Amino acid sequence: VIFVLILSSSAASKTPPVFPSTLAQLRRGAAGDGGPSLYTEKFCTQILDHFNYNPQSYRTFQQRYLVNDTHWGGAAAGSPIFVYTGNEGDIEWFAKNTGFMYEIAPIFKALIVFIEHRFYGKSIPYGGNRTVAYSNSSTLGYLTATQALADYATVILSLKKNLTSENSPVIVFGGSYGGMLAAWFRLKYPHVAAGALSSSAPILNFDNITSQFSFNDIVTQDFRSESENCYKVIKKSWQEIDDTAVKPGGLEILRKHFRICKNHISAASLHSWLSTALIYTAMTDYPTPSDFLAPLPAHPVKQMCEAIDDPTTGNSTFAKMYGAANVYYNYSGNATCFDLADDSDPHGVNGWYWQACTEMILITDGNREESIFTASNYSYNDRREYCKDKYGVEPRPNWAPTEFGAHNIKRALKNFGSSIIFFNGLRDPWSGGGVLKNLSESLVAIVAKEGAHHVDLRFSTKEDPKWLVDVRKRETEIISTWLSHYHSDI
C-alpha cells in the first residue's frame, strides 16, 4: 500500500508535502538489502522532554536502535561508531537500505548503529500506545527535531559508556530528513559527533531562502531532458482530466483508462495519484534498478517517457499517462486496480503530518507557467488552515532556520561549523534546497549532475556508473581524514 499525497498539481490539496520515505514499503529480507541479519534490535530508556523539568518531562519511553558489530575493532582500539540518525519512519527500513555504511564499516572497523526517531516505528512514548501518543497536540508536542537530536546524543553517550568506548569517534549519517538531522546533529553536538555525512538534505528549503518553484522546476527538467513530447503530454494531461471528469460518465471513463478500483475516483485524487508517481520517480531516478519506494527499473524517468512516447498508444493522452504511471505503480505487473482512497499507515509514518504542521515547513508547491504541473503559487494560508483544522496549531515557518541556521548559510556556518559532507544529486527535486557549494575547507559539497535522492547511501552494485563510484570513494576518503585527525588530537 502506498500513501498518495499531493506535492503539486492543479488539484493541490492542503496536505503537507512529505519526504519519499513516507511512501516506502518496508522490505523484509529482500534480495540485495542484506536481510534482517544485518542488525540486532536493542532499546534504550529515553526521557520524554529534554528541555524542561516539570513532572511530565520525566516520563520515559523505550527508544529502539539497531546494532551491527560484525566488523567493529572494539573499544580498546578506539574504533569508530557509525550512527544513522533515523528519519520519519520505521528504522528497519532505513537499516536495510543504507548500504554505504555496511560497505565501508570493514575499512574502518566500525560499529554500526541505527537510531529510531521518537514517535515512529517502535519508539512510541506513552507506553508505546500510538493512539495515545498521536491523540492531540499536547502529546504530539514532544515530536520535534530538537528533541530527536537530544535523543540521539543521549543514546550515543549511553552506548559509549556501556561499551567503555569513550575514545571511539562517532560519525553520523543520514539521508533526506535524516540527512538534515545528521548535519544539525554535528552542529548542535560537536562534542558527540566528529563528522556528518548529510545526503540529499534540503536544509535550505524554507521560506525566503529557496524559491517556491525550485522543487517542481527540477521535476520538470528531469522529464523534459528525456523528451520534449513526454513533457508536453504530461503538461496537457491535467486539463484533459479535469475536462473529462465534468462530462456525463466522465469519471467512469477515467476509471477505465487508469484501472482505478471501484471504491473511489475524482479528478483531484487522480491528479494526486499521477503527480505522486512523477515526483517520486524523479526523486528515485537511479542509474540501476531499485525498490526503495516501489520496484523500479534503472533510469525510471526515461522509462516513463518511453511509455509516453510509445507510438502504439496512438494519440490517447490517458493511455500514455497510464503507461507512465504503470512504471511506478506496477512495474512488477501484479496490480489489478489502483486504490485512490487508501489512507492507511502500515509503517507508522503519519507523525510527519504533525512535523509538517509545526517546524518542517518545506516549500515545494510553486509551479511556473512552464512547469510540468499546472501553474500555481505556494500558499502559506492553505497550510495554516489545514494545520489549525487538523491539530489546532499554527505552523512556525521561521523556527527551523532560526534554530539551526539557514539564512546566508556560508556566513552562518563558516565560523563554527566543520566536518560535514553535503551530498546532492541534481536530478533530485530536493537538491534545490540543499548545500551545493563548499562552505569552507571542511564543509564540503559533493554534487552529482546525474544523481538522485541519497543515491550515494544505497547498496552498491556492479552496474553503478563511474561517477557514483567516485562519489562514494571521495566520501570514504573524507571520513578517513576526519578519523585520522580525531585520533591525532587525543
- List C-alpha distances in Å: 483 to 6, 349, 419: 42, 34, 10
**Contact of 122 with 64, CB cutoff 8 Å:** yes
Which residue type occupies 396?
R
* 422 found inside a domain: yes
Residues facing residue 69 across a β-bridge: none
**Contact of 33 with 376, CB cutoff 8 Å:** no
Q: What is the pTM of this model?
A: 0.93
Same structural domain, 231 and 199: no
Same structural domain, 45 and 189: yes
Closest CA to 274 of 227, 312, 223: 223
The per-residue pLDDT for 333 is 86
Last residue of a domain, one of 330, 350, 382: 330
* 372 found inside a domain: no
Q: Which residue in 214, 453, 456, 464 is the catalytic one? A: 453
Q: Which residue in 428, 431, 456, 464 is the catalytic one? A: 428
d(C-alpha 274, C-alpha 373), whole Å:
11
In order along its 490 residues, the chain shows pLDDT tens digits of 222 233 333 333 334 344 443 333 322 233 334 444 789 999 999 999 999 999 989 999 999 999 999 999 999 999 999 999 999 999 998 999 999 999 999 999 999 999 999 999 999 999 999 999 999 999 999 999 999 999 999 999 999 999 999 999 999 999 999 999 999 999 999 999 999 999 999 999 998 899 999 999 999 999 999 999 999 999 999 999 999 999 999 999 999 999 999 988 999 999 999 999 999 999 999 999 998 778 899 999 999 999 999 999 999 999 999 999 999 999 988 888 999 987 777 666 889 999 999 999 999 999 999 999 999 999 999 999 999 999 999 999 999 999 999 999 998 898 889 999 999 999 999 999 999 999 999 999 999 999 999 999 999 999 999 999 999 999 999 999 999 999 886 6
> CB neighbours of 86 closer than 8 A, spacing ≥ 6?
94, 114, 115, 116, 117, 120, 121, 148, 178, 181
What is the enclosing helix (H) or strand (E) of 83? strand 81-85
The per-residue pLDDT for 17 is 41
* 3 found inside a domain: no
- List C-alpha distances in Å: 248 to 126, 244, 409: 51, 8, 54
Which residue type occupies 244?
T
d(C-alpha 141, C-alpha 134), whole Å:
10
Can 453 be counted among the known catalytic residues? Answer: yes
Same structural domain, 173 and 234: no
Same structural domain, 139 and 201: yes
Can 428 be counted among the known catalytic residues? Answer: yes
* 298 found inside a domain: yes
The per-residue pLDDT for 347 is 61
Radius of gyration of the chain (CA): 22
* 441 found inside a domain: yes
Question: For the segment 377-389, what is each residue's pLDDT rounded down to a tens digit?
Answer: 999 999 999 999 9
Interhelix angle for 317-329 vs 228-245, to 10°?
110
* 202 found inside a domain: yes
Same structural domain, 103 and 240: no
Closest CA to 112 of 94, 90, 138: 94
The per-residue pLDDT for 349 is 80
Q: Which residues of 257-269 are buried (b: 16+ CB within 10 A; e: fewer)?
A: bbebeeeebebbb
Can 487 be counted among the known catalytic residues? Answer: no
Same structural domain, 82 and 200: yes
Last residue of a domain, one of 330, 346, 380: 330
Last residue of a domain, one of 330, 355, 376: 330
Same structural domain, 183 and 219: no
For residue 172, what is the domain's CATH number? 3.40.50.1820
* 15 found inside a domain: no
Q: Which residue in 176, 198, 290, 431 is the catalytic one? A: 176
- Output phi, psi for 32, to 5 deg: 90, -10
Same structural domain, 161 and 138: yes
d(C-alpha 63, C-alpha 155), whole Å:
9
Same structural domain, 201 and 318: no
The per-residue pLDDT for 26 is 29
Which residue type occupies 452?
A
What is the count of structural domains for the chain? Answer: 2
**Contact of 145 with 359, CB cutoff 8 Å:** yes
* 155 found inside a domain: yes
Same structural domain, 178 and 233: no
The per-residue pLDDT for 133 is 96
Same structural domain, 133 and 278: no
Domain hosting residue 466, numbered range: 40-207+403-489
For residue 231, what is the domain's CATH number? 1.20.120.980
The per-residue pLDDT for 220 is 98
CA torsion, ordered 376, 429, 120, 66, to nearest 10 deg: 180
Question: For the segment 452-484, what is each residue's pLDDT rounded down to a tens digit?
Answer: 999 999 999 999 999 999 999 999 999 999 999
Same structural domain, 255 and 299: yes
